[in-house]
Structure 1
Amino acid sequence: MAKYKVGIISLGCDKNRIDTEIILAKLKHSYEITNNPKEAEIIIVNTCGFIESSKQESIDTILEMADFKTKYNCKVLVATGCLTQRYGKELMDIMPEIDILLGVNDYTNLIEHIDKFLVDKEKVIKCEYQNETINEGERIITTEGHSAYIRIAEGCNNFCTYCIIPKIRGKFRSRKIENIVKEAKSLCESGVKEIILVAQDTTKYGEDLYGEKSLVKLIRELSHIESLKWIRILYCYPEEITDEMIEEIATNEKVCNYLDIPIQHISNNILSKMARKTNKESILNVIDKMRRRIKDMTLRTSLIVGFPGETEEDFEELKDFVTEYKLDNLGVFTYSREEDTPAAKMDNQIDEKIKKKRQKEIMSIQKEVSKEIKKESIGKSYEVIIDKESEDYYIGRGRAMAPDIDGLVYINKTIKLELGTIVMVKIKEALEYDLIGVVEDELS
């Protein structure tokens, strides 16, 4: 008997991607996996529900896939993830096209739910995800085969006033070091060379399990994996970056000299309203400290403009920071007024036109900063991992480039290269966000 074909669409962050990869591993034994939704008899949408734009994308995707019930082969439409956890039955009521609705990581009995629906057509709603659990286990990697994310913790205890994540994902809880190392070894045995550590706040890793910050200890354990070449760390809250962590990045050859530090703003007025656990002086101090100690340190951050009560003075302070501190990579979001968050109830909400104008101004400044930084790369040589191949170029990333969010390195095809190879590339040309170069030496 032929197996049903199942396809899955993953929306949102890299932590959602990991959930999707766990789901795929559970499904592969019972169904045939397809990347073409037109072929799929079972379609799963793993949703995001973080901000308004991501909610809308999730809703649009569910509705688009619902049309496949009449246009193509779809017999079962499943929605899971953050949006479904956040709205539950309410979402099913306004979108009756959904057949099975599961909350965050409520997919333990997914196959059972699907098989039952195929027989009796009885809809399923299950949003019972417990925030004491962490979903772990076998994954089918959906990134390039040589690069993979590893979630080291779930949930968040920060309760920033604009953020709904703690209510969706629950309290912060770390995975055991031995489980993470086991997963990393398995990934590396399958060809992975770059591990990207993610959590809502990676710098708090281990506090709940071991009574102290344990990210450095975890990194040292991972570094013993011989075939692992790069360790990249994302989402480090600046107030939690310790001297020990800075020293580890500076001295451990496997750790990329790269951090994502989501500061959100630089004005103490706004940082206080956001309930961030830091201030301008501390943020500047840790940036200066990292730049002094770590050679070629690359910093990425994310900012929010148009937060309630953001004055022109606050915004000018933010512009001055972006201009003066010249961070390598920067994303700017307009404040999204999310129900059930303290910020949604604040006075002095900012008009959308002003938010977008401020976003455009910051990005315009950063564009010039990025041009200036990229020009400094001309004539220098960097390790680059080869991700893709086009007709004219190999396309890769340096240690200063996280996948999907930062720039790329385009490499002239002077020699034959395999995907996943790490090579030394000399930069010949700089664009706004990307680099162009030639291979000097093949490393691995």
Structure 2
Amino acid sequence: IDAIIGTGNIKYINEIIRKLDTTNNKIIKVDNIDSSYLENVERINFSPYAYVRISEGCNNHCTYCIIPKLRGKHRSRKMEDIINEVIYLSENGVKEIILIAQNTSDYGIDLYGEYSLYRLLDKLNDIDKIQWIRVLYLYPDNFNESLISSIKNNNKVVKYVDIPLQHVSNNILQKMNRRTSKKDIQDLIKKLRIEIPNIIIRTTFIVGFPGETDNDYKELYKFIEETRFDKLGVFTYSQEEDTPAYNMPNQIDQSIKDERKENIMKLQKYISEDMMMSKLGNTYDILIEEYSGNNIYIGRSYMDSPEIDGVVYVDSNRLLEIGEYVKIKVTEYLEYDLIGVLADESSK
């Protein structure tokens, strides 16, 4: 290793690389984890979608997580800087914007004195050429009425939310230092599904957290079985040095963690297949992202985030452009993916 650069010192990377050409000494620069986001950096993007970071750092201090010590406290980017970046991307072929942060729900509280993600979405919705706006990493505790209304009423904001819930047993939620209870979580999901009937809810859970009893695990399993999430991921707890959970008593054997994860993923596979089957015959707008040969294109509907969710295989007799939106009719389904044909060719 020639150099170690902290997350708050990325702006010095060119300078450090040049120094390495003139010195045999190792360079370590890891100060200032609370630095501002690096603005005005030209982006190279070859995809019809792009990730846009709206804040850095986190104030949550979950007991299993090292991020606040690595990334510092929560710092929001100015709204105008984000808007300018999205305009730039839209003028360079990007059709879908995916907003990310360690915690997108907290956006704006440090700059504007209120949770302002809803205001940002309202403004981004007015940008020409952008057709989809997706938000990931929404924590459940600050998911307020204004945000729900913004997702519901802005036509470019896809009806898809990624909310890492991590657990539902109040015993484990407290040990994790999460700021929501099981009832809070149940109330939020119920409200989202009432207010936005076609919403897709993705979440993640952690199994095998220190002190997770059989009853805690069974409570989580039953909750997933009853709630039927559209998309779901499960992680086994991994001890992270320098976090409160690292030295907690009652650490769980890896074999038990793996078994619990496997059982939940088997359950989710059944739920997913049932949901995929319900899509048969439906029509969806698909963003074309790739050509795989033999008249088969690969794209996504609003129901799928890139890299973490499924895809839609589109059988087309005509040439489709990467970045084009087409309407397809679903003809087949796989475990997590859909297969379809162009809607205007489905009756031929």
TM-score (norm 1): 0.76
Deviations 1:50-78 (A, max 9, x none): xxxxxxxxxxxxxxxxxxxxxxxxxxxxx
Q: Indicate yes or no: 2:324 matched with 1:411.
A: no
Q: Is the 8 A contact 2:230 2:275 kept in 1?
A: yes
Q: 2:12 aligns with which of 109, 113, 118?
A: 109
- Which structure exhibits the higher relative contact order, with contacts defined as CA atoms closer than 8 Å and separated by 6 or more residues? 2
**Letter of the 1:406 counterpart:** D
Structure 2 distance, partners of 1:273, 1:441, is 54
Structure 2 distance, partners of 1:207, 1:179, is 16
Structure 1 distance, partners of 2:76, 2:58, is 10
What SS class does the counterpart of residue 109 from structure 1 fall into?
A: helix
Q: 2:133 aligns with which of 231, 236, 239?
A: 231
Q: Is the 8 A contact 1:250 1:295 kept in 2?
A: no
What SS class does the counterpart of residue 374 from structure 1 fall into?
A: helix
Deviations 1:328-355 (A, max 9, x none): 1111000011111111111100001100
Structure 1 distance, partners of 2:174, 2:44, is 40
Structure 2 distance, partners of 1:281, 1:107, is 41
Structure 1 distance, partners of 2:200, 2:64, is 27
Q: Is the 8 A contact 1:411 1:439 kept in 2?
A: yes
Q: Indicate yes or no: 2:245 matched with 1:346.
A: no
**Letter of the 2:310 counterpart:** G
Q: Structure 1 pair 105/137, CA: closer, same or farther in 2 (3 Å)? A: farther
Match of 2:328 in 1: 425
Match of 2:52 in 1: 150
Q: Is the 8 A contact 2:11 2:38 kept in 1?
A: no
What SS class does the counterpart of residue 21 from structure 2 fall into?
A: helix
What SS class does the counterpart of residue 250 from structure 1 fall into?
A: helix
Q: CA deviation at 1:224?
A: 1.2
What SS class does the counterpart of residue 106 from structure 1 fall into?
A: helix
Q: Is the 8 A contact 2:33 2:70 kept in 1?
A: no
What SS class does the counterpart of residue 270 from structure 1 fall into?
A: helix
**Letter of the 2:163 counterpart:** I
Q: Is the 8 A contact 1:398 1:409 kept in 2?
A: yes
Match of 2:341 in 1: 438
Deviations 1:406-429 (A, max 9, x none): 000000022110000011111000
Structure 2 distance, partners of 1:196, 1:368, is 28
Counterpart mapping for 1:173-322 below 5 A: 173-322=75-224
Q: Is the 8 A contact 2:55 2:101 kept in 1?
A: yes
Structure 1 distance, partners of 2:292, 2:93, is 22
The total of aligned residue pairs comes to: 344
What SS class does the counterpart of residue 11 from structure 2 fall into?
A: coil
Match of 2:23 in 1: 120
Q: CA deviation at 1:100?
A: 1.7
What SS class does the counterpart of residue 257 from structure 2 fall into?
A: helix
Structure 2 distance, partners of 1:277, 1:124, is 40
What SS class does the counterpart of residue 282 from structure 1 fall into?
A: helix
What SS class does the counterpart of residue 270 from structure 2 fall into?
A: helix
Give the share of equivalent positions with the same residue, in percent: 49
Structure 1 distance, partners of 2:169, 2:145, is 24
Over the residues paired in the alignment, what is the CA RMSD in angstroms? Answer: 1.3
* 4+ runs deviating over 3 angstroms: none
Q: Is the 8 A contact 1:262 1:301 kept in 2?
A: yes
Q: CA deviation at 1:441?
A: 5.6
Deviations 1:184-229 (A, max 9, x none): 0001000111000111111111111000011111011111111110
Deviations 1:86-134 (A, max 9, x none): xxxxxxxxxxxx1121111413232222222223333211112331422
What SS class does the counterpart of residue 437 from structure 1 fall into?
A: strand
Q: CA deviation at 1:182?
A: 0.4
Q: Indicate yes or no: 2:284 matched with 1:382.
A: yes
Structure 2 distance, partners of 1:200, 1:415, is 41
**Letter of the 2:33 counterpart:** Q
Structure 1 distance, partners of 2:303, 2:259, is 29
Q: CA deviation at 1:236?
A: 0.8
Q: Indicate yes or no: 2:160 matched with 1:160.
A: no
What SS class does the counterpart of residue 427 from structure 1 fall into?
A: strand
Q: CA deviation at 1:259?
A: 0.3
Q: Is the 8 A contact 1:328 1:373 kept in 2?
A: yes
